[in-house]
Amino acid sequence: MAVYTEVPDEALAAFLSAYEIGDLLSYKGIAEGVENTNFILHTTTGSYILTLYEKRVKEGDLPFFLGLMQHLAANGLACPQPIRTRDGATLGRLCGRPAVIVSFLEGVSVRRPGVRHCRALGRALAGLHAAGADFPMQRPNALSVAGWRPLFEAAETQADRVAPGLAARTRADLALLEESWPQDLPGGVIHADLFTDNVFFLGDEVSGLIDFYFACTDAFAYDLAICLNAWCFEADYSFNRTKGQAMIAAYQAVRPLESREVAALPLLARGAALRFMLTRLVDWLNVPPGALVKPKDPLEYDRRLAFHRKVAAAEEYGWSPVAG
Ligand SMILES: Nc1ncnc2c1ncn2[C@@H]1O[C@H](COP(=O)(O)OP(=O)(O)O)[C@@H](O)[C@H]1O
Ligand SMILES: N[C@@H](CCOP(=O)(O)O)C(=O)O
């Protein structure tokens, strides 16, 4: 359960007194998530999410994240809206942490996405890229290729305790990706963490996207590569090409990929898997004492990497030319 910071009742009451969201009826810590501390608040005016930002979120990035959510919502994307205090502020402090209240989104995330979910996700991802097109702020991706070596170095000596040979194969992947990482692809605002737990569905339709705290300015096709990793592998770590095909085709129905993006897809998918393997590995080896959090398994992404290493072309992820 991701509650890193305990919030005493009196501190919460003082924090909420700056808002006009009604009287607090109940609140509780949210079990899902690994990055920040989240509470659900029920008040006389409805439900809200209170987030206290933890270690990986830099305070200086918060204006980007909060401004982005406002911008995307104004452009028709269903995403959390930061709530303003009576004084007009969206960002406050609670228990020594930067903290915000955002609107609650209805919907449920799917644990085992089917082809129809992958199709809906592809469409939603392209919609997100379009909605972010004229967002004026920039945020370089701190967890792109240049950010991976420091993570590896932090975990290198202990990696083989997690799986035999993990250090050597990660070292080799990292060297290859540093050497050949695609540059200058079409880009803009990307979500960069659009895993199944960050996408809500009502029926077969996406009802909302959450958790914009890795959002940044990077290649659109890298965002698609992250989603292929997160949505299209089966429990036995085989890649489901039908799911990949549904996702990519739905994405391309809104925003066709350029040939250089298609050519880059295998490397982007491999890099995306390495990025999540590395952050998970560092977290796995460094669970904060007393934190109510279940770290995510880095080996899920080590296994995906075994697939990506053998991929030669985007067709193997289900890409095919847009019919036209
Ligand atoms: N705006 C929201 N509306 C409804 N539920 C939310 C909202 N934001 C977060 N949640 C719930 O809180 C959980 C954790 O949120 P998330 O942003 O993914 O946390 P973390 O950044 O710590 O990973 C989500 O899986 C979801 O259940
Ligand atoms: N999606 C990442 C971890 C970030 O967790 P989230 O709850 O913010 O999506 C992973 O699976 O490694």
* Residuewise pLDDT in 10s, the chain (324 residues): 477 888 999 999 999 999 999 999 999 999 887 789 999 999 999 999 999 998 778 999 999 999 999 999 999 999 999 999 999 999 999 999 999 999 999 999 999 999 999 999 999 999 999 999 999 999 999 999 999 999 999 999 999 999 999 999 999 999 999 999 999 999 999 999 999 999 999 999 999 999 999 999 999 999 999 999 999 999 999 999 999 999 999 999 999 999 999 999 999 999 999 999 999 999 999 987 766 667 899 999 999 999 999 999 999 999 998 755
- Under a CB-based contact definition with an 8 Å cutoff, are residues 170 and 274 in contact? yes
Atom of ligand 2 nearest to the CA of 280: 12
Atom 7 (ligand 2) nearest CA: 33
Please give the number of the atom of ligand 2 that sits closest to the Cα of 33.
7
Residues 42 and 147 in one domain: no
Residues 276 and 211 in one domain: yes
Residue 228's alpha-carbon distances to 52, 258, 287, 303, 305, in angstroms, are: 30, 17, 28, 14, 12
Task: For residue 10, report the distance from its CA to the centre of ligand 2, in Å.
Answer: 31
CATH number for the domain spanning 28: value is 3.30.200.20
**Are 225 and 282 members of one domain?**
yes
Are 89 and 146 part of one and the same domain?
no
User: Residue 213 maps to which CATH number?
Assistant: 3.90.1200.10
Rounded Cα distance between 153 and 307, Å, is 24
30 lines ligand 2 (CB under 6 A): no
Is 323 contained in some domain? no
Q: Are residues 20 and 159 in the same domain?
A: no
Does residue 322 lie in a domain region?
no
What's the domain count of the chain?
2
Angle between helices 259-285 and 166-180 (to 10 degrees): 140
Q: 129 and 91, same structural domain?
A: no
Q: Which residue has the tokens 């501390």?
A: 37
Q: Residue 195: CB within 6 Å of ligand 2?
A: yes
* Whether 61 and 129 share a structural domain: no
Q: Are residues 219 and 303 in the same domain?
A: yes
End-of-domain residue from the set 69, 103, 137: 103
Which of 83, 103, 123 is the last residue before a domain boundary?
A: 103
Asked if residue 4 belongs to a domain, the reply is: no
Q: Which atom of ligand 2 is nearest to the CA of 214?
A: 8
2 occurs within a structural domain: no
Single residue among 103, 130, 165 that ends a domain in this structure: 103
Query: Does any ligand 1 atom lie closer than 6 A to the CB of residue 50?
Result: no
Would strands 24-29 and 187-190 be described as parallel, antiparallel, or unpaired? unpaired
Show the tokens assigned to 220. Answer: 């659109």
Alpha helices in the chain (DSSP H): 9-16, 62-74, 115-131, 145-162, 166-180, 220-231, 241-254, 259-285, 299-308
Q: Ligand 1 pocket, 79 CB below 6 A? A: no
User: In this structure, are 201 and 292 located in the same domain?
Assistant: yes
Residues 159, 281 contacting (CB under 8 angstroms): yes
Q: Judging by beta carbons within 10 Å of its beta carbon (0-12, 13-18, 19+), is residue 138 exposed, middle or buried? A: exposed
Asked, for residue 324, whether it belongs to a domain, the answer is no
Assess whether the C-beta atom of 276 lies below 6 angstroms from ligand 2: yes
- SS3 state of residue 277: helix
Task: Look up the domain containing 176 and give its range.
Answer: 115-317
pTM: 0.94
* Angstrom distance (rounded) from CA 317 to CA 311: 8
Using the atom order of ligand 2, give the atom closest to the CA of residue 211. 8
Query: Which of 296, 302, 303, 304 to probe ligand 2 with, by most ligand atoms within 8 A of CB?
Result: 296
